Amino acid sequence: MNKPYIIGIAGGSGSGKTFFLKCFLEHFKPEEVCLVSQDDYYIPVAHTMTAEENKLYNFDLPATIDNDHFLADIQSLMRYETVYKQEYTFNNPNAIPKTLEVKPAPIIIVEGLFILHFKAIADLLDMKIFIDTEEHVALERRLKRDLLERGYSHDDVMYKWHNHVQPAYEEYLLPYKNECDRVITNNTHVAEDIIVITEEISKELHKKVFAQDV
């Protein structure tokens, strides 16, 4: 079988990666594409910390990711092998993690904050996409998510943003921006803008990856 085409999608917290991916995936059949997310490869630490320690723990560092496992699963998918992975529950001790099944496909999407920093993973990528967002927009999105969906206080979110999130973005992602094939600005909340962009990229990929099947 042909080598899968691997796309890396990187962006900081609040950049809108999740919405971009949702729009992007809608242009493909399930058997045409699979997704591997860095978020599922955090090293679990909840059982070793108090609630207060958990609040102060810096999750925005490459060392918090099981990079070897992340890379190994991408390589398995490249060999068209199905990958099974326990979902990461964001250190919620009450959540029961599901077993994720990722089936191989001709297009593999790898997404996350550090995918360009992890050189062994970056070297596998055939296309690199950078989701670029102004800081105040990203912070607004982060606040909305963490206050409403994850139950953090405003002070907790702001502490992490200034001490963990932004420093990590500037050190481990921003330096790779100019190496990317596409830089997509996502400052608006207009869905149509992202839908148009994802449609354009998906058409390009259909020609590259599936042209031999036409």
List pLDDT tens digits, range 100-144: 999 999 999 999 999 999 999 999 999 999 999 999 999 999 998
Average pLDDT over residues 160-182: 96
pLDDT tops 60 at residue 213: no
DSSP letter assigned to residue 85:
E
Cβ-based neighbour number of residue 72 at 10 Å: 12
Confirm if 7 and 109 have CB atoms less than 8 A apart.
yes
Task: Tell me the per-residue pLDDT of 81-107, one tens digit each, with 9 for 90 and over.
Answer: 999 998 887 666 677 778 999 999 999
Confirm if 71 and 118 have CB atoms less than 8 A apart.
yes
Phi, psi for 81 (deg, rounded to 5): -105, 140
Cβ-based neighbour number of residue 30 at 10 Å: 9
Task: Tell me the per-residue pLDDT of 24-48, one tens digit each, with 9 for 90 and over.
Answer: 999 999 999 999 999 999 988 766 7
- Here the CATH number for the domain that contains residue 78 is 3.40.50.300
Q: How many domains does the chain have?
A: 1
Phi, psi for 117 (deg, rounded to 5): -75, -35
User: Exposed/middle/buried for 173, CB within 10 Å: 0-12, 13-18, 19+?
Assistant: buried
Q: Which domain holds residue 56?
A: 5-213
Confirm if 42 and 50 have CB atoms less than 8 A apart.
no
| pLDDT for 25 | 94
Q: Record the pTM.
A: 0.90
Phi, psi for 24 (deg, rounded to 5): -65, -45
**Integer Cα distance of 105 and 154 in angstroms:** 41
